[in-house]
Every structure is written in structure tokens, then in C-alpha cells.
Amino acid sequence: MLRALYPGSFDPVTNGHLDVLARAARLFDEVVVAVAHNESKKGLFTPEERVELLRESTAALLNVRVTSFEGLLVDFARAQNAKAVIRGLRAVSDFEFEFQLALMNRSLEPSLEALFLMPSEEYTYLSSRLVKEVARLGGDVGRFVPQCVQSALANRFARVGASSTVRGEEALPGDSPLAP
């Protein structure tokens, strides 16, 4: 059984993540999507909510399993008997950090391979952060995220109000380029 891990924040899952996941699911017997618990990086959604949204969005992908993890990725990969870590590469700007991360993980666990997949070009500009910002400002994110995520975003922002800062979320650089 050739198993890969696809780790990330997924706060929330976007169509870009799903594009990469579908590609990975065609290459491996099983892909484990792993939501990282990161205490220092509070998100809009809790890890449990992100897992739930991912489960709903990936229900049709039969060899995909969704879970969450704490601690070192390489330890989790070992425990799952995963042979590769999938990461998405959108643009050159992703490369430097991903390169560092992959080499660090390799030094911690040489047998774990990093595999980079490119999404369809229509998703190269898509990020969870921008999707949250558009949704917060009342924009239509229906083209960028699955239906369940669109509803979850609408609920979340209806409750907190567009002007609030959501649970310590970082503002976009220059506050918000989307709203002068």
C-alpha cells in the first residue's frame, strides 16, 4: 500500500487544495490529508471544523482519508507509514519556503520523499488567506471553494461582522488591498 500525506493548514480548504489532492489520489493507493494543529497560528476555523469541511469536500475521493496531527510532520508520517509528503506549488514565491521545509524534513527522516504538484493554472492565485479576505468583505467565493466552505464562511462572517478581527487572524499586508 503506497501512502502519501498531504499536510497543511487548510483554513479553509479551497479548490486549489482539492485540485492537488485529486492529482495525488491518482498516484497513490491512499492519501491522508492532515490538518496541522498549530497553537501559534490561530485560524478562522478550528482544526476540527477544517477536518469536517475537508471530509465533506473529499467524500467522492474514495482513497482519501482526512485527519489532523500535532507535533513533527516526520513523526506523524512514520506513524502513518507514509512514503511521501505532497505539497502544492503555485508560483516561484512558494518555492523557497517549500524547499527549506523539504530539506529539513529530509534531514529528520531521509526515507520520506517530498513531492510537489502544480494545480491547474486557474488556481495558481488562490490561497485560503485571500478567500477569507474576499468572504469577509462580502465577495462571492463560490468559484474558489466547495459549497460547504462557502456556507461556513458566510456563517462565520455573518456572526462576527466584517469589521471584526477574527480570532487573531493576521491582516493582509497593507491592511487589505481588496478594500481601500
Decide whether 10 or 76 has the Cβ nearer to ligand ADP: 10
Is residue 62 exposed (0-12), middle (13-18) or buried (19+ Cβ within 10 Å)? exposed
Of the residues 26, 41, 42, 167, which is catalytic? 41
Q: Are strands 30-36 and 113-117 parallel, antiparallel or unpaired?
A: unpaired
Of the residues 9, 17, 50, 87, which is catalytic? 17
Residue 97: C-alpha distances to residues 77, 81, 93, 101, 147 (Å): 20, 25, 8, 6, 30
90 a catalytic residue:
yes
Give the span between the Cα atoms of 66 and 32, in whole angstroms. Answer: 6
57 a catalytic residue:
no
> Could you say whether residue 126 binds ligand ADP (CB under 6 A)?
yes
For 57, the grid coordinates are 469536500
> Could you say whether residue 18 binds ligand ADP (CB under 6 A)?
no
132 a catalytic residue:
no
For 88, the grid coordinates are 502544492
- Of 155, 16, 33, give the one whose Cα is nearest residue 89: 16
Selected binder of ligand ADP within 128, 136, 141, 156 (CB under 6 A): 128
Minimum separation from the CB atom of position 110 to ligand ADP (A): 21
> Could you say whether residue 9 binds ligand ADP (CB under 6 A)?
yes
Residues 69-98 that bind ligand ADP (CB under 6 A): 87-88, 90, 94
Binding site for ligand ADP (CB under 6 A): 8-10, 14, 16-17, 20, 87-88, 90, 94, 119, 123, 126-128
Catalytic (active-site) positions: 17, 41, 90, 128
